[in-house]
Amino acid sequence: MLPLTPDAVVFDLDGLLADTETRWTVAETRLFARHGLPYGEVEKARMIGRSVESVSVELAQLFARPGEHLTIATELVAEVMAILAEGVEALPGAVELVARCASRVPVAVASNSDRPYVDLVLEAVGLSDYLPVRVTTDDVVRPKPDPEPYLLACSRLGADPSRSVAFEDTELGASAARAAGLTVVGVPSLEGTVIGCDLQVASLTDPVLVAWSRELAAASA
């Protein structure tokens, strides 16, 4: 059961609010192809939700480019940004859910991407005004799965983590939110994934979430 009067609601971004994971998949596929390697479900599952920095260290070994993880990170981000320039959309129900939550309680984004990327995506999908409080990899020493991003988000919102709600699309992100003490809603971006959470739904348009957010918003009227 989700709390009817949470202190705050903190959202992940990629694959949760914005349809960006599909863009990351294209960029990752291209990067692997340039190194003569296949990219499929196994590779995606290993990379999803992680920071670019942690992924690039692993890729440097995989691509036989030791010590070049920073260059690889730059290549990957440049590929993604070029794809995003062609357009990106909010996932179904995202704008409505965030708007309802923001009308009643403090809200924030906690992402494993950097600030320029987060700012660009939020602006592109029409969520920038609702989510001015943003925790990115530029703000923390330890990104997800460490709880630091969620603890910092709650601190900035003046919220008690144990009375707050997190929305995540990956087990890595959900584990960070759980460790921080938040109630976790899992909305997997990879089909067939089971996330360790308090409530798992297929999308942000799930009737349970819609009813909860409407009741939350009505409380502010």
Amino acid identity, position 38: P
- Per-residue pLDDT of 148-190, as tens digits, reads 999 999 999 999 999 999 999 999 999 999 999 999 999 999 8
* Nearest CA-CA partner of 201 in 185, 183, 189: 185
φ and ψ at residue 135, rounded to 5 degrees: -110, 125
Return the active site residues: 12, 14
- Per-residue pLDDT of 19-49, as tens digits, reads 998 888 999 999 999 999 999 988 888 888 8
Structure-token pair, residue 122: 């939020």
- Per-residue pLDDT of 130-151, as tens digits, reads 999 999 999 999 999 999 999 9
Average pLDDT of every residue of the chain: 94
pTM recorded for the entire structure: 0.90
CB neighbour class for 18 (10 Å; exposed up to 12, middle 13-18, buried from 19): buried
Residues contacting residue 45 through CB under 8 Å, at least 6 positions apart: 190
Q: Reply yes or no: is the peptide bond before residue 145 cis, omega within 30 of 0.
A: yes
Residues contacting residue 153 through CB under 8 Å, at least 6 positions apart: 8, 10, 108, 109, 110, 133, 135
